[in-house]
Amino acid sequence: MRETPWKRRLLCGLAMSATLVMTTQAADAKKKDKDARSGPAPYASTYKPYPGRPTALVGATVYDGRGGRIDNGTVLFENGKVVAVGAADLAIPAGYDRVDGSGKFVTPGVIDIHSHLGVYPSPSVDALSDGNEMTSPTTPDVWAEHSVWPQDPGFTRALINGGVTTLQILPGSGNLIGGRAVTLKNVPSRTVQGMKYPGAPYSLKMACGENPKRVYGARNQKPMTRMGNFSVDRQAWIDAKQYMDGDHAERDLGKDTLEGVLKGEILVQNHCYRADEMAQVLDMAKEMGYKVTAFHHAVEAYKIGDLLKANDVCAAIWADWYGFKMEAYDGIPENAALLAKQGACVVIHSDDENGIQRLNQAAARAQAAGRRIGVDVPDGQVVGWFTYNAAKAMGIGEKTGSLEAGKMADVVLWNGNPLSVYSRPEKVWSDGALLYDAHDPKRKPVSDFELGQPGEGDVK
Amino acid sequence: MKRLILAALLGAAPISVSAQNVTITNATIATGDGSAPIEHATVVVRAGRIVSVGRDTTVLNGTQVVDGTGKWVTPGLFSAVTDLGLWDVEAVDDSNDTSADKSPFNAALDVATALNPASEHIAVSREGGVTRASVTPFNGSSIFAGQGAVIDLGKDAAIVMKPRAFQYVELGESGAKLAGGSRVAAHTALRNALREAREVAALPLGAQRQGDVLLTRADAAALAKVIDGTQTLYVGVERASDIRGVMALKTEFPKLDLVLVGATEGWLVAPEIAAARVPVITMPMRDLPSAFEALAATMSNVGRMKKAGVKVAIGLFEGGNQPRNATEQAGNLVALTKIPGASGLTWGEALAAITSIPAEISGFGGKAGVLAPGAVGDVVLWDGDPLELSSAPVSVWIDGVKQPTESHQARLRERYKDLDETYLPKAYDW
């Protein structure tokens, strides 16, 4: 079973390339339901925070996610919200449980901006492989949430080992326009709606480069080249603008999504590796009147840190992946640090069901690589790479991603410095509810799939 | 490499690279044998080999002295089961020699013929402290992937330490698919192949085989070494019952020298693996039930197997799972010791799992992956605790030769330290 996850995804495009090719949506699927667009948001979140105790974390080193660090700090939360963050002299109100964090560290809940948990779940069998609707190069009409399997054991491992409290699930990158992503609270639920992050904006997954042209080129279909990629994208935007300016008499699911992007209601998360290609995408966004919120993977982002900074675009990257495909050939471990040096926004992402369990470690590796070339990014800022910056690029930076009064009490107590290989989450709270406690065997989620199995979520 | 060592001994000075006589003093030295690190220790390398190591060791006259104060020293890392030197860009087929699904051969395939010492990935891994590795072919259209080699990562043309060091066979779910659709077919294919190999080996010189054969003669001949135990058989397998099935092969083929690769559910059958004295090479942080054959996946797999007496190495560095990050895998096993209910390794054991143990499993016990008198002079000087994320090698010696830091990546990071193009394009910055 020697197959790494990225390889599986890479091959996904090839293996499935021989499957059916649908051209356009059947006209009868389009309903004349103009009014439906203005109704309540469909598939609405039913997430409810679980009860928690008023809690005071005391004595720990606190990284607030916005670059701040407080030694011997105090973090107070109650009713699911952060009440106050301060030094040792911060008064603890009556009725609060004290948790001794001496020698330990506190960070905001970890956030992964790029995950395929649920859409490419474990076990990775074809029957559950629902991440890439590779039947047309543009599928803005599909929504990742309709593929998410909430029983994916990957969610539980991300919580326990990685302290992940929020994550964005994206469609794959086989298509130029892959569909809508969904932001989830990493709180187990029987339904996807029960995990949906209340009020998070949607994102649209787009992809440039090798994947779309490989998938469709292999079928002798457009796009076969990078210029084909841009042609198909541009035409899709032009058509969407026409739709946006029209009467919406005939509803088009895909164009609804693209219209949302053009109106600034839906963010764009753009899979793109090469510097020159990212620069072209930025111009396409200007031409068509939308904004790219983040480039994902972006292994060459370090070559255009100035451009990304000027355009206020984040780079969501791995620490050091490189070389597995042509467009990843120039990946270097100093990517994050060089971007930080330019003042550009850095997000460490996983795109991997194992990597999501160690986003903190990936960030630490990237920090260390920078330090060796004289770019010293402080620990507090590095913590922001897998907390606040991710939240910001997912449009939920006002609600989570940092420890500030009034924000969601998504909190991780680490048993050591989260930038050390020897540290793990000890307790994880989501909206103030304790969802993982290393010292309480029952305070650990086990998905339906693993019940009664030999490993049983690794609790045996 | 031997040529260079000889040259050094004879006093001839090769122009660019030569085995240096080096003494590193006052460092925190971890020998890789599983023991705890020794502070304020010294290691002496002469003529390409370790001469002495420890606190009582003194500087040897005529050696270059490196002050190791505040630094750490380990043996070079040994990466087990890698694809180093077999590709430039994995998804660019022309540059990728890991597998050959259209070849008429399988077990006869020998990676030693394709290894490229100038590979970027070798350079990058070397910079990360990896000095030795085993390289395996990947399965094409057969359960037999072919014969792997043990290499050194020194920056010279001599890359192969031991060609045809092992044969690789894939069983479990992947093997079932390759064999035609079931585990039954995979086991039948394996047993049949071994029988054909035995028949070929027994044939008088020049005699022809009978007609009912599935293997080419070259493949059958390659497997003869597996049957008589002169070549190790690496078996890719995950599920507990599949592991038992592998060990049961010894009933019919008693001389098989087995190594389990993967063994995700090894902890469920750890006492049996230990009793059979079959070593394991695994990737410890894979803790998801990624397949039905891996339902019992846990990060505690290594710790539990080790506790049961199994010899376990960290390995399976392929694709995005880079050899230079072996230290992170090892460090995570130490982290597990602090988690209630989990099993991990001590620091010394964790280092051994990426140095001496993979070297032993690869047939180089006491010779590589360890700082001990007589072992190869592979020494890594680190700027901190080698298993920690913030640490990296400062200097790397292979066979006593100090290695240069040259790679495509190194040049890119130099070029893009700034984005200044005031006077000329970046293309002139080199």
Contacts of A416 in chain B (CB under 8 A): 338
Q: Is the pLDDT of residue B10 over 80?
A: no
CA A426 – CA A150 distance, rounded (Å): 24
User: Considering its fold, how many domains does chain A have in total?
Assistant: 1
Please tell me which of the candidates A325, A342, A424 has its beta carbon nearest to residue B91.
A325
Is B391 near chain A, with CB under 8 Å? yes
Is B286 near chain A, with CB under 8 Å? yes
CA A199 – CA A409 distance, rounded (Å): 16
**B 218-247 → A contacts, CB under 8 A:** 236, 238, 240
Closest-CA distance of chain B to residue A80, Å: 27
Task: Check CB contact under 8 Å for B389 and A419.
Answer: yes
Q: Is the pLDDT of residue B1 over 60?
A: no
Please state the separation of Cα A97 from the chain's center in Å: 32
List the alpha helices (DSSP H) in B323-399. 326-336, 347-352, 356-361
Q: Does domain B77-364 have CATH number 3.20.20.140?
A: yes
- With H, G, I as helix, E, B as strand and everything else as coil, classify residue B351: helix
Is the residue at A449 inside a domain? no
Is the residue at A435 inside a domain? no
CA A264 – CA B268 distance, rounded (Å): 53
Q: Can you state the angle between helices B217-227 and B183-202, rounded to 10 degrees? A: 90
Please state the separation of Cα A29 from the chain's center in Å: 31
B396 membership: H or E segment, kind and range: strand B393-398
Q: Are B36 and B356 in contact (CB under 8 A)?
A: no
Which CATH number goes with the domain that contains A211?
3.20.20.140
Q: Are A78 and A414 in contact (CB under 8 A)?
A: no
Phi, psi of A319 (to 5 degrees): -70, -45
Sign of CA dihedral A79, A85, A87, A90: negative
Closest-CA distance of chain A to residue B161, Å: 24
| Domain interval for residue A385 | 110-398
Please tell me which of the candidates A358, A364, A455 has its beta carbon nearest to residue B390.
A364
Residue extents of the structural domains in chain B:
1-76+369-430, 77-364
Per-residue pLDDT tens digits for B327-385: 999 999 999 999 999 999 999 999 999 999 999 999 999 999 999 999 999 999 999 99
**Going by C-beta distance under 8 Å and a sequence separation of 6 or more, which residues neighbour residue A457?**
A153, A156, A444, A445, A446, A447, A450
Task: Check CB contact under 8 Å for B419 and A303.
Answer: yes
Which superfamily does CATH assign the domain made up of B1-76+369-430 to? Urease, subunit C, domain 1 (2.30.40.10)
Is the residue at A171 inside a domain? yes
Is the residue at A33 inside a domain? no
In the prediction, which pLDDT does B13 show?
38
Q: Are B259 and B278 in contact (CB under 8 A)?
A: yes
Q: Are A400 and A165 in contact (CB under 8 A)?
A: yes
Closest-CA distance of chain A to residue B162, Å: 23
Q: Are B303 and B270 in contact (CB under 8 A)?
A: no
pLDDT in tens, chain A (460 residues): 555 434 444 433 333 333 333 333 344 444 444 555 667 789 999 999 999 999 999 999 999 999 999 999 999 999 999 999 999 999 999 999 999 999 999 999 999 999 999 999 999 999 999 999 999 999 999 999 999 999 999 999 999 999 999 999 999 999 999 999 999 999 999 999 999 999 999 999 999 999 999 999 999 999 999 999 999 999 999 999 999 999 999 999 999 999 999 999 999 999 999 999 999 999 999 999 999 999 999 999 999 999 999 999 999 999 999 999 999 999 999 999 999 999 999 999 999 999 999 999 999 999 999 999 999 999 999 999 999 999 999 999 999 999 999 999 999 999 999 999 999 999 999 999 999 999 999 999 999 999 999 888 776 5
Q: Where are the beta strands (DSSP E) in A356-431?
A: 411-414, 425-430
Q: Are B134 and B79 in contact (CB under 8 A)?
A: yes
Tell me B233's DSSP state. Answer: E
Q: How many CB atoms lie within 10 A of CB B188?
A: 13
Task: Check CB contact under 8 Å for A449 and B417.
Answer: no
Tell me B376's DSSP state. Answer: B
Task: Check CB contact under 8 Å for B91 and A326.
Answer: yes
Instruction: Using a pLDDT cut of 90, give the percent of chain B over it.
Output: 90
Closest-CA distance of chain A to residue B235, Å: 11
pLDDT band at B266 (very low <50, low <70, confident <90, very high): very high
Is the residue at A454 inside a domain? no
In the prediction, which pLDDT does B318 show?
81
Q: Which of B288, B302, B351, B383 would you mutate first to test chain A, the one with the most A CBs within 10 A?
A: B288
**B 403-422 → A contacts, CB under 8 A:** 408-409, 412-413, 416-417, 419
* β-pair partners for B259: B234
Q: Is the pLDDT of residue B60 over 80?
A: no
Task: Check CB contact under 8 Å for B413 and A334.
Answer: yes
Is the residue at A279 inside a domain? yes
With CA atoms as reference, report the closest residue to B144 among B188, B165, B175, B113.
B175
Q: Is the ipTM of this complex over 0.90?
A: yes
Contacts of B391 in chain A (CB under 8 A): 368
Is the residue at A90 inside a domain? no
CA A84 – CA B318 distance, rounded (Å): 46
Q: How many CB atoms lie within 10 A of CB A217?
A: 17
Q: Are A365 and B389 in contact (CB under 8 A)?
A: yes
Closest-CA distance of chain A to residue B140, Å: 12
Residues in chain B: 430
Per-residue pLDDT tens digits for B271-318: 999 999 999 999 999 999 999 999 999 999 999 999 999 999 999 998
CA B355 – CA B333 distance, rounded (Å): 15
Q: Which residue of B has its CA nearest to A334?
A: B413
**Going by C-beta distance under 8 Å and a sequence separation of 6 or more, which residues neighbour residue A409?**
A52, A55, A77, A78, A80, A81, A82, A429, A430, A431, A432
Closest-CA distance of chain B to residue A249, Å: 46
Please tell me which of the candidates A302, A326, A450 has its beta carbon nearest to residue B89.
A326
Task: Give the alpha-carbon dihedral of B344, B346, B348, B349, to 10 degrees.
Answer: -40
**B 69-108 → A contacts, CB under 8 A:** 88-92
CA B55 – CA B27 distance, rounded (Å): 10
* The 3-state secondary structure of A104-171, one letter per residue: CEEEECEEEEEECCCCCCCCCCHHHCCCCCCCCCECCCCEHHHCCCCCCHHHHHHHHHHCEEEEEECC
CA A115 – CA A409 distance, rounded (Å): 22
In the prediction, which pLDDT does A6 show?
41
Closest-CA distance of chain B to residue A312, Å: 17
Judge residue B53's burial from the number of C-beta atoms within 10 Å of its C-beta, 0-12 exposed, 13-18 middle, 19 or more buried: buried
Q: Can you state the angle between helices B240-247 and B183-202, rounded to 10 degrees? A: 20
Judge residue A261's burial from the number of C-beta atoms within 10 Å of its C-beta, 0-12 exposed, 13-18 middle, 19 or more buried: buried
Is the residue at A199 inside a domain? yes
Q: How many CB atoms lie within 10 A of CB A395?
A: 20
CA B239 – CA A135 distance, rounded (Å): 35
Q: Which of A115, A309, A326, A421 would you mutate first to test chain B, the one with the most B CBs within 10 A?
A: A421
The CA angle A317-A323-A324, to the nearest 5 degrees, is 90
With CA atoms as reference, report the closest residue to B160 among B96, B85, B226, B95.
B85
Instruction: Fill in the amino acid letter for A271.
Output: H
Is B178 near chain A, with CB under 8 Å? no
With CA atoms as reference, report the closest residue to B393 among B127, B152, B38, B24.
B127
CA A255 – CA A25 distance, rounded (Å): 12
In the prediction, which pLDDT does B316 show?
96
